[in-house]
Amino acid sequence: MSSPEGFWRYLVDEEVARPARQFARDIVRPVADEIDRQDTYPVDLVSQTAAQGWNAMTLPTRYGGGGASMEEALGVIEELGAASASLGVCLITIFQSSKIIELFGSESLKERVLPRYAAGLRASYALTEGGRGSDIRSLDTKALRTDTGWVINGEKAFITSGSAAEFLVVLAETDIGVSTFAVDRDTPGITTHETEQAETFGLRNGPHVNLVLNEVELPEDALIGVEGKGLRQALITLSNSRTLAAGISLGIARAAFDEAFEWVADRTAFDERVIDFQGIQWYFAEASAEIDAARLISYQAARDLDDDLDYQRTSSEAKLLAAALATKVASMAVQVCGAHGTQVVAPFGRYLRDAKAYEIAGGSAEILKNTIAKRLIDTGTTSPQQK
């Protein structure tokens, strides 16, 4: 029996995910290859997703957000990611920067900044530095207290969405450790530039710019939460954004699966449809089982975030599995489509490049495994009385 939903059932309320699937198919997919080719930030599309309420969908309604759950947000981002992972990462950097303010910011900062997200604010999350990627226990970007607030100096590298960002969340080191700051892009002393490392082969939504902060003066409440707690804030925020990143990888896997399936169902070889060869069917059967399983753990991670359960483990598991799976399915799609799979006019190269880049961006596979292992050790070595 054929399903109106195609191969992939909605795993959240259909009223939430169906509009995103339609928008992805009608508005995003037709321009997705062009965004990738041009490597530019899709300003217009991001304004349209804001108008749909998706840029601020999990923010509390008192700040103009949609008050939606992480599970619902995953339902939307999976659909948009299936059409364009580049659009997906635009929304992830917006989400990540607003989430950390929502979770840890002072009330005055939240009231000042969060409603702007609902109005379509473009934002970036600036953590990485030239010499520091996975290891962010200390940073070369420094923030010093002044009589009126803070002054920041340093340089951030590889900032996704940085070419179009109007607002930035910046991690910097103060006297007592890594801390997080909310910064308007037009604050005096901030410039961006592109190094030769700014262009990536995947997740292309504009150059990953370097961000220079030169004597940037900020008010007292630009500090997000407690000074010196930036690492803990980053870990919790990353658990949220990693779960949505898993959704983008699932979207890539689904898109590669769907478009390859359509092609092999039409193509003939040796007087048979390519899909009628058992060797080809098994590729799809295995990919279908693995996509279904990765979707389940990803939606579980989103529910764990909503319910405040052991989300560090499940969100890392979700991103680890979904990212690797997207690369595997995109590679399979190239294989079963033969020469067509390799052609630049076909979308499979884009899927493969985006999928591989997401095995590194937002938490590499190795760092995710470290997080999972740490949670296992914490859980397994806690005495029964402590559990």
Ligand X SMILES: Cc1cc2nc3c(=O)[nH]c(=O)nc-3n(C[C@H](O)[C@H](O)[C@H](O)COP(=O)(O)OP(=O)(O)OC[C@H]3O[C@@H](n4cnc5c(N)ncnc54)[C@H](O)[C@@H]3O)c2cc1C
Which residue's CB comes closest to ligand X? 133
Window 89-108: contact mask with ligand X (x via CB under 6 A): ----x---------------
Rank residues 69 and 161 by Cβ distance to ligand X and give the closer one: 161
Q: How many residues bind ligand X (CB under 6 A)?
A: 21
The least distance separating ligand X from the CB of residue 79, rounded to whole angstroms, comes to 21
Rank residues 69 and 200 by Cβ distance to ligand X and give the closer one: 200
Using CB under 6 A as the binding rule, the residues of this chain from 139 to 178 that contact ligand X are 158-160
Q: What are phi and psi of 152, to 5 degrees?
A: -115, 140
Q: Which listed residue (127, 255, 323, 326) binds ligand X by CB under 6 A?
A: 127
The least distance separating ligand X from the CB of residue 370, rounded to whole angstroms, comes to 5
308 exposure class (CB count in 10 Å sphere: 0-12, 13-18, 19+): exposed
Rank residues 157 and 291 by Cβ distance to ligand X and give the closer one: 157
Using CB under 6 A as the binding rule, the residues of this chain from 351 to 370 that contact ligand X are 357, 360-361, 364, 366-367, 370
Rank residues 226 and 360 by Cβ distance to ligand X and give the closer one: 360
Using CB under 6 A as the binding rule, the residues of this chain from 297 to 326 that contact ligand X are none
Window 236-265: contact mask with ligand X (x via CB under 6 A): ------------------------------
Q: Give the residue from 162, 216, 219, 221 showing the smallest Cα distance to 193.
A: 162
**In three state form, how does the secondary structure of 90-112 look?**
HHHHHHHHHHHHHHHCCHHHHHH
Please report the sign of the dihedral spanned by the C-alpha atoms of residue 197, residue 199, residue 203, residue 205: positive
Please report the sign of the dihedral spanned by the C-alpha atoms of residue 51, residue 113, residue 110, residue 42: positive
Interhelix angle 311-336/348-357, rounded to 10 degrees, is 150
* Binding flag, residue 284, ligand X (CB under 6 A): no
Q: Which listed residue (108, 134, 148, 214) binds ligand X by CB under 6 A?
A: 134
Rank residues 160 and 314 by Cβ distance to ligand X and give the closer one: 160
